[in-house]
Amino acid sequence: MRLTNYTDYSLRVLIFLALKKEEELSTIKEISEAYNISKNHLMKIIHQLGQLGYVETIRGRNGGIKLAKKPKEINIGEVVSKTEEDFHIVDCFQEGGYCAISPACKLKHALYEAFLAFLNVLNGYTLEDMISNKDDLQQLFQSAIDH
């Protein structure tokens, strides 16, 4: 199973924001520099995270971004499901995908079962679980900024 960069970056944005105090705002520039990710790419991601209700964006001179929910209310599996474009692990998962053995294939069923297990594991975690080592993560961000 492999996630797109889009989903990876979405999760990273949420982790970054979860490390902030509840009302503390972050900027796209700040997140971009912390992870060395393009600001343009992050703008698209943050826009979608806002549409999905995970982040709140405040416009204006003193604006920024913050979580719209508490970290314990943000389910990792749900975020992955909503930000991943598709889960077509193999061609036969796609509509119109073709494989000569598809009608009798057992592999696609095993892969589908593995996919469901993957999502079930992620569904067992919240954003709060991802920041349980908050001090270590903040130290790493500080080191990245210092260099």
* CATH at residue 100: 1.10.10.10
Q: What is the pTM of this model?
A: 0.88
Number of domains composing the chain: 1
DSSP string, 90-142: SGGGSTT---TTGGG-SHHHHHHHHHHHHHHHHHT-BHHHHTTTHHHHHHHHH
Quote the pLDDT of residue 69.
Answer: 97
107 against 121, higher pLDDT: 121
What are the tens digits of pLDDT across the range 58-83? 998 889 999 999 999 999 999 999 99
Please determine, for residue 147, whether its predicted confidence score (pLDDT) is greater than 70: no
Q: Above pLDDT 90, what percent of the chain?
A: 65
